[in-house]
A and B are shown apart, each in its own frame.
Chain A
Amino acid sequence: MNKITGLFFGIFFLFGASWLGLVAYPYLTFAGLRQTKDEATGALAPLPNPGIATQGARVYAANGCLYCHSQYVREKGEGNDVDRKWGTRRTVARDYMFDRQVFLGASRLGADLTNVGVRQTDPQWFYRILYAPQTLSPEVSMPAYRWLFETREIQGQPSVDAVKLEGPDAPPAGYEIVPTSEGKALVGYLLSLKKNYPLSEAPEPTE
């Protein structure tokens, strides 16, 4: 092949096709997503995230949570995510339209987190898992994230956020373990992960 111009144009346009399809098209299409208003209740879906969720997403990224946790629910024919109660329906593009950072993830060493805010509404549960993941299982692969917490003396009343721990993880008497602002942000983000409102393009499976 001597025609270098032919080579150049071939290289350029063939790659340009995939660029158009997988970069330009999603960029333009998903910018045009809109909320819809439910006819009956008047509720908007989906809803924007609370501010703390955006801060928490940064902590999520910084600690590499996405390398073990995914955040999307597959439809019933493509996986048993719904049967596992990880969601009542599959997730679609509009579910993520307000997320500044989308962490779909590609690995499930840990549970899927799309609807973890629906499954667990108590921040205490999250604090305990982050501080001492061994409470889930002694051989769990999740590391402890103790730098999201600090141990400090109880001043007067124990703090509302104090993590309730027993055994070797419990703090010494007179001390309590409270989450730092990063820890609170992360848990705020996790609590906001709920994608269970109805969307017309994602009907709930009927079985």
Chain B
Amino acid sequence: MSSTHEHRVEEDGHGSDGPIEQVGAEHSALRESDEPGHELPEPAKGPVPIWLLGLVGLGIFWAGAYLFSFSGGFNSDVFDFQPKFGSEGGGARSAPDPKVVGKALFSANCITCHQATGLGVPGQYPPLAGSEVETGDATNQLIAIVLKGLQGPIVIEGKPFNNAMQAWEGQYTDAQLASILTYVRSDWGNNAPPISADMVKQMRAEFKDRKEQWTWPEVQKIPPKNLTAGAAAPPAGQQKPGAPATGGQPPAPNAQPAAQPSAQSQPPAPNAQPSPQPSAQSQPPAPSPASMR
């Protein structure tokens, strides 16, 4: 390997190991003989190549652009480097299905009396399944009952009940009540349009002076109003119970199956158009349509 070499292999070229010399025993034989005070030759004054300087400039420019476009405003809450919807806050709230939420809330309290089957207890607590009160068009009456409670004798589907239901307006927010009612109107064979938080809010304001529970005749006297009529297209997630909630697809024309027993004062609003924005009356904002991705 060294036979082609000019220098001795043990030499490092100028400035370090020379040939082994006759030296005193106290010195190492591996002498190096640089000038005093200089371990190594000083670095030369070569210029920085132009292309490297250009690269530095380019790098600074690129770095600035990259850093400021993909840092989400240096917000500690922003994890996606390309936040969607243009917001700095990390994007739209993910919308839990109101029916799921409503069911959870129903199961916390309402279930005690109305039962998980929605059938109530004969003679004690009225059923919600198939009940005209729940699924009928007099949605304002329905909301009023839930807000203020009910007492005294009532007749549901021909069966009498005489008990007391407490007022729930102090316990739940508008959104929560709306989700409970939406759930009730969609389970056990019920299939009625959902109730929105705005509707509940409206009723809450309308009856804010009422302090006691309703009696049944009083409820009947409230002029029935179908608050769900005239609503914009329901949020995309609202479909028949049991259908998987798919985002971004046009909602199926809201079928009016035979579960709606009472005649309706107004025809249901046409609601088959897909809306690119979540409806104005929606409760938790709807899952964003596919076009946003």
Which of A42, A198, A201, A207 sits near B96, CB closer than 8 Å?
Answer: A198
Q: Which of A88-96, A113-121, A139-147, A183-191 contacts B (4 or more CB under 8 A)?
A: A88-96
CB atoms of B175 and A40 under 8 A apart: yes
Which of A42, A43, A89, A203 sits near B93, CB closer than 8 Å?
Answer: A203
CB atoms of B288 and A200 under 8 A apart: no
Q: Does A157 contact B (CB under 8 A)?
A: no
Q: Chain A 60-81 against B: per-residue CB contact (8 Å), 1 yes, 0 no?
A: 0000000000000001011000
Residue of B nearest to A201 (CB): B90
Q: Does B209 contact A (CB under 8 A)?
A: no
Q: Does B98 contact A (CB under 8 A)?
A: yes
Q: Does A2 contact B (CB under 8 A)?
A: no
List chain A residues, Cβ under 8 A from B82: 77
CB atoms of B94 and A38 under 8 A apart: no
Count of A-B residue pairs with CB < 8 Å: 70
* Range of interface residues on A (Cβ < 8 Å): 20 to 34
Q: Chain B 252-265 against A: per-residue CB contact (8 Å), 1 yes, 0 no?
A: 00000000000000
Q: Does B293 contact A (CB under 8 A)?
A: yes
Q: Does B10 contact A (CB under 8 A)?
A: no
Q: Does A205 contact B (CB under 8 A)?
A: yes
* Range of interface residues on B (Cβ < 8 Å): 20 to 34
Give Cα A186 to B79, complex, Å: 30
List chain B residues, Cβ under 8 A from A89: 94
List chain B residues, Cβ under 8 A from A5: none
CB atoms of A201 and B173 under 8 A apart: no
Could you list which residues of chain B lie within 8 angstroms of chain A, going by C-beta atoms?
76-82, 84, 89-94, 96, 98, 101-102, 104-105, 173, 175-176, 179, 247-248, 284, 287-290, 292-293
Further pairs besides A93-B79, A202-B94: 8, Cβ < 8 Å: A40-B176, A77-B82, A92-B79, A201-B90, A203-B90, A203-B91, A206-B247, A207-B290
